[in-house]
Amino acid sequence: MIEFCGISLEHRIVNGSGTFDAIAARRAFGDAIYEQFPFAAFVSKTVTLAPREGNPPPRLWELPGGLINSIGLPNKGLEGYLLEDLPQLAELSVPLIVNVMGSTREDVARLVGAFAERDEVAAIELNVSCPNVKTGLIMGADPSELAALLDHVRPHAAKPLIVKLTPNCAAPADVAAAAEEHGADAVSLINTLRGMAMDPHRPGEPWLGGGTGGVSGPAVRAIALSQVREVRERVSLPIVGMGGVQSGHHATDLRRVGADLVAVGTESFRDPLAARRIADEASSLEEAFPANAARGVGVVRL
């Protein structure tokens, strides 16, 4: 067992928010998937206050090295989630981390406050990739905007708060430092990188219904490695590292640059049970090279 923000986990592999639907997986694979869950904790897709339809189709474009998605965070909203999804997810055999997003500090505080009261929820992840409608600033791209958000939200939750950093900003490490100074318990990174694809049949038009989307998968692995390393050099908070992880080697690489946990995202679309293989491969590697896998040890200084 390992410990993350006071939560006991069986191993270090979790899922990236929005990339594994535990409820749909149970429908497809039966109860066995809940009993032998591939992830050490389940991170929900983003929940917003009001229900959202998501973006118009098409919502996915396959790249040679991954995906661009423009899903647009469809979800049932807070009330729908509490009523319909939470009771089902409470039956999971692993801790539940709920990911939330709001477009004002007050909205985020309401979401955090609602989940902080629920025993079924072990921790809350803040998706801060959204612009604050009042300031126009992307909440997670600007250190002072994030600091103000955390000052507002922190008093609403005694539970661990994980800030999910966006890679679409000048200095993610500055944002991570603001998160640490203003009460976050952990940071997670990277979220998707903004990208677009052109429609092969309509010259000059974007393929995705949302115009642009988020790039994920092997294409972003090198960026994830460098950003996790940069953040580790600035903060001592626990880090959930993710971006293009497909194997135990990739997970161990993220561990060696400073991640405490590793999330698997896009790879689960190819193989929903990939996380179990990755966890086994990573723990064999960590057993073989324990010193290298420890946080901050073995970071190559160039």
Ligand X SMILES: Cc1cc2nc3c(=O)[nH]c(=O)nc-3n(C[C@H](O)[C@H](O)[C@H](O)COP(=O)(O)O)c2cc1C
Backbone phi, psi, residue 4, to 5°: -135, 115
Among 48, 55, 70, 127, binds ligand X (CB under 6 A): 127
Q: Is 130 a catalytic residue?
A: yes
CA–CA separation, 52 and 65 (whole Å): 29
Site for ligand X in 1-30 (CB under 6 A): 16-19
Query: 100, 126, 130, 215: which one is catalytic?
Result: 130
CA–CA separation, 41 and 160 (whole Å): 14
Three-state DSSP class for residue 291:
helix
Residue the block writes with tokens 């998937």: 33
Give min distance, CB of 220 to ligand X, in A. 5
126 vs 285 by CB, closer to ligand X: 126
- By CB under 6 A, tell whether 138 contacts ligand X: no
74 vs 287 by CB, closer to ligand X: 74
Of 84, 68, 64, nearest to 76 by C-alpha is: 84
Residues in the chain: 302
Dihedral-angle region of residue 193 (phi above 0 means left; psi in -120 to 50 means alpha; beta otherwise)? beta
Contact track, ligand X, 47-86, x by CB under 6 A: --------------------x-x-x-x-------------
Among 160, 217, 241, 248, binds ligand X (CB under 6 A): 217
Backbone phi, psi, residue 109, to 5°: -65, -40
Contact region with ligand X (CB under 6 A), list: 107-115, 152-160, 239-247, 253-261: 239-247
Backbone phi, psi, residue 262, to 5°: -130, 135
CA–CA separation, 4 and 170 (whole Å): 28
CA–CA separation, 162 and 118 (whole Å): 17
Among 48, 70, 191, 227, binds ligand X (CB under 6 A): 191
Among 242, 251, 275, 282, binds ligand X (CB under 6 A): 242
The residue number with the shortest CB distance to ligand X is 18
262 vs 294 by CB, closer to ligand X: 262
- By CB under 6 A, tell whether 166 contacts ligand X: no
Of 56, 92, 50, nearest to 208 by C-alpha is: 56
CB–CB of 99/263 below 8 Å?
no
- By CB under 6 A, tell whether 227 contacts ligand X: no
Give min distance, CB of 243 to ligand X, in A. 5
CA–CA separation, 235 and 237 (whole Å): 6
Give min distance, CB of 83 to ligand X, in A. 19
Among 266, 279, 286, 293, binds ligand X (CB under 6 A): 266
What is the contact surface with ligand X in residues (CB under 6 A)? 16-19, 45-46, 67, 69, 71, 73, 99, 127, 164, 190-192, 216-217, 220, 242-245, 264-266
Q: Which residues are catalytic?
A: 130
